[in-house]
Amino acid sequence: MRITVDRELCCGSGNCVVTVPEVFDQDDADGLVTLRNAQPPEHLRASVETAAQLCPVGAIGVTDQVASH
Ligand code: SF4
- Residue ranges covered by each domain of the chain: 2-63
The percent of residues in the chain predicted with pLDDT above 90, rounded, is 93
Report pLDDT digits (tens) over 31-55. Answer: 999 999 999 999 999 999 999 999 9
Work out the average pLDDT over 3-23. 98
Tell me the residue type at 32. Answer: L
**Ligand 1 closest atom vs CA 9:** 3
Answer yes or no: is pLDDT of 68 > 80: no
69 C-alpha vs ligand 1 centroid, how far in Å? 32
Q: Does ligand 1 lie within 6 Å of residue 3's CB atom?
A: no
pTM: 0.92
Residues whose CB is less than 8 angstroms from the CB of residue 5 and which lie 6 or more positions away in sequence, other chains included = 16, 24, 33, 34, 35, 59, 60, 61
Class of domain 2-63: alpha beta
Answer yes or no: is pLDDT of 26 > 90: yes
